[in-house]
Amino acid sequence: MTASTPRTPTRIALITGGSRGLGRSAALALAADGVDVILTYVSNEASAQAVVSQIEAMGRRAVALQLDVGDSRAFDAFARSLKAALSATWQRERFDFLVNNAGVGLHANFEDTTEAQFDMLYNVHLKGAYFLTQKLLPLINDGGRIVNVSSGLTRFSMAGASAYAAMKGAVETLTRYLAKELGARGITANTIAPGAIETDFGGGRVRDNAQVNAMIAGVTALGRAGQPEDIGGAIAGLLGEGSRWVNAQRIEVSGGMFA
């Protein structure tokens, strides 16, 4: 680089639920691609700080902030904390990428799903993603990107996931509207839809239950359940420069489940 060559600004990603599972994998994959990371956690600060340390060991900067995406009353305070972190760590007022990843699982048949369980899923997956994105829009750079994490369960149906899949279906619709309405600012919005992944999500059923794992492998074209790195790498790729023209899309990353 010559003295006259402008330096490319550091890209910063905010990943909700970045202390474990798919969020952690996405944070590490983005750091490997030269992106700095702000990640959120609900209660396990130690796990979040461990991810921060891993990212810093890769030569990138990272910050962990507490946030319960199921409590929209906390979003004003979170936005203030985010502004402070951007100023203190990057001397910036805005960030580039928002990954709405935080979520909770529920496995319950339709007739057994309670209103309280439904409301919990709604608050985290739909209301949380909707109003957190709205709150943070002034802090997202023009030309930025939004990735909302959905699920393969919006394409295929498996018993016990009606409420969860309904929320994710709404998230996919929301994503298309974000792409439409934010296009004037050059902001893209896309959905990543993972298949069954071996994490602690939903009590770790896919990871820890050998029968469930074998069933998933049997209906997947690539012959195995997914790993967190399969999704983290896909998110990083969607946020890479080569995907700048991808917009308003649902991208399933399932290894070909029920292909």
Distances (CA, A) of 150 to 83, 166, 241, 254: 27, 10, 22, 12
> Torsion angle of alpha carbons 242, 251, 27, 168, nearest 10°?
150
Q: Are 148 and 189 in contact (CB under 8 A)?
A: yes
What are the residues whose beta carbons fall under 8 Å from the beta carbon of 55, sequence distance 6 or more? 27, 28, 31, 36, 37, 61, 62
As given in the structure block, the two tokens for residue 99 are 């990954």
Catalytic residue, chosen from 122, 130, 164, 177, is 164
Q: How far is CA 258 from the centre of its chain?
A: 23
Distances (CA, A) of 171 to 131, 143, 249: 12, 21, 12
164 assigned to active site: yes
> Torsion angle of alpha carbons 157, 160, 163, 165, nearest 10°?
-30
Query: Which residues are catalytically annotated?
Result: 164
